[in-house]
């Protein structure tokens, strides 16, 4: 199917998995709208994508942890006259401080970025996708959503919400030609652990546990095109998720409390 004239909006495109999604989709001839806070990085990426792949690449610098973030982004796409055919809800991070030690404004920002903005962006772009009877949405969940909860961290709960809502929306939207996939990567090389402040602990984890963002993206994109509502990329992550599934919640609680490499 021709992708000429189709546009992908990628949040968190200034680094890691998001930047890799932008490359992957531009290489497949999708025009792209790149969203994150660091405008200079986005402009650099946009000019690289234009010269490498000859696609249209637009930059929207926006803070998705602010309540007005999603409407700012979609209003700009509308101003530019670009319909969003693909949404990659990727922007995210994990707080490194525990819940009760985190000021409420930081907790609210985390929820806004990875729960409300993800949901609102989806809500804003689906009417157009339904009218055109075609859309693809990838929501970045995490292997964390298929693993025991971490002590004092909202991240597991947030990514569990993303996993669950993606499946619900896929059920609703598939009849309109819209596929929704929750992508659940495990440890992936990016700036995630630098931002979280857990780089040293992350670097001590065995190499077999890690994936390159390009591999995560290729498997995630293939999954959404194939209409799979959940994708756990990589064999190690698949084994880990399958091994966790039958473990009773009582035991998962103990595992989550005991084995946290980032404590
Ligand atoms: N890396 C992993 O091991 C891993 C595993 C499972 C799931 N994930 C998920 O994958 C997604 C991408 O993470 P990554 O590993 O690629 O991390 P990363 O390299 O740190 O990239 C995160 C991206 O999110 C953007 N972002 C952060 N806060 C933002 C905000 N307030 N507004 C707009 N954009 C914001 C960042 O851009 P700016 O700073 O320029 O705004 C950056 O482009 C996240 O949802 C993460 O939870 C990652």
At residue 263, the pLDDT reads 67
Residues with catalytic roles: 155, 159
**Whether residue 112 has its Cβ less than 6 Å from ligand 1:** no
Domain contains 154: yes
| Mean pLDDT, range 112-121, rounded to an integer | 98
At residue 34, the pLDDT reads 98
Domain contains 61: yes
Q: How far is CA 185 from CA 29, 65, 200, 231, in A?
A: 25, 22, 20, 8
Segment 91-110, tens digit of pLDDT: 999 888 999 999 999 999 99
Reported pTM: 0.97
Ligand 1 mean position, distance from CA 224 (Å) = 20
At residue 89, the pLDDT reads 98
User: Which CATH number is 49's domain given?
Assistant: 3.40.50.720
Lowest mean pLDDT among 152-156, 173-177, 206-210, 256-260: 256-260
**Whether residue 92 has its Cβ less than 6 Å from ligand 1:** yes
236: tokens are 């190690």
Q: How many domains does the chain have?
A: 1
| Mean pLDDT, range 148-158, rounded to an integer | 93
Domain that holds residue 245: 7-258
Domain contains 263: no
At residue 136, the pLDDT reads 98
Pick the closest to residue 64 from 136, 14, 134 (CA basis): 14
Ligand 1 mean position, distance from CA 245 (Å) = 26
Q: What percent helix, strand, coil does the chain show, rounded to 5?
A: 55, 15, 30
| Mean pLDDT, range 42-47, rounded to an integer | 98
At residue 131, the pLDDT reads 98
Helix H or strand E encompassing 139 = strand 135-140
**210 has a pLDDT exceeding 90:** yes
Nearest ligand 1 atom, CA 18: 16
Helix H or strand E encompassing 32 = strand 31-36
Domain contains 77: yes
Average of per-residue pLDDT values in the chain = 95
d(CA 50, CA 52): 6
Domain contains 2: no
């Amino acid at each position: 199917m021709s992708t000429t004239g189709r546009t992908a909006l990628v949040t968190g495109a200034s680094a890691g998995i998001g930047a890799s999604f932008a490359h992957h989709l531009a290489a497949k001839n999708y025009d792209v709208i790149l969203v994150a806070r660091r405008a200079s990085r986005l402009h650099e990426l946009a000019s690289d994508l234009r010269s490498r792949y000859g696609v249209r690449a637009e930059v929207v610098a926006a803070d998705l942890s602010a309540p007005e973030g999603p409407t700012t982004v979609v209003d700009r796409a509308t101003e530019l006259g670009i319909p969003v055919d693909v949404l990659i809800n990727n922007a995210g991070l994990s707080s490194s401080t525990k819940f009760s030690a985190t000021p409420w404004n930081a907790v609210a920002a985390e929820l806004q970025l990875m729960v409300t903005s993800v949901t609102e962006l989806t809500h804003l772009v689906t009417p157009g996708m339904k009218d055109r009877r075609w859309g693809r949405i990838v929501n970045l969940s995490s292997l964390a959503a298929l693993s025991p909860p971490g002590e004092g961290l909202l991240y597991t709960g947030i990514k569990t919400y993303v996993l669950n809502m993606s499946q619900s929306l896929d059920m609703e939207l598939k009849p309109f030609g819209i596929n929704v996939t929750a992508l659940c990567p495990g440890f992936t090389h990016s700036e995630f652990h630098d931002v979280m402040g857990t780089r040293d602990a992350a670097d001590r984890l065995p190499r077999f546990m890690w994936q390159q963002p390009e591999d995560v993206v290729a498997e995630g994109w293939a999954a959404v095109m194939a209409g799979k509502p959940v994708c756990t990329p990589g064999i190690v992550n698949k084994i880990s998720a399958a091994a966790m599934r039958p473990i009773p919640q009582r035991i998962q609680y103990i595992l989550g409390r005991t084995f946290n490499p980032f404590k």
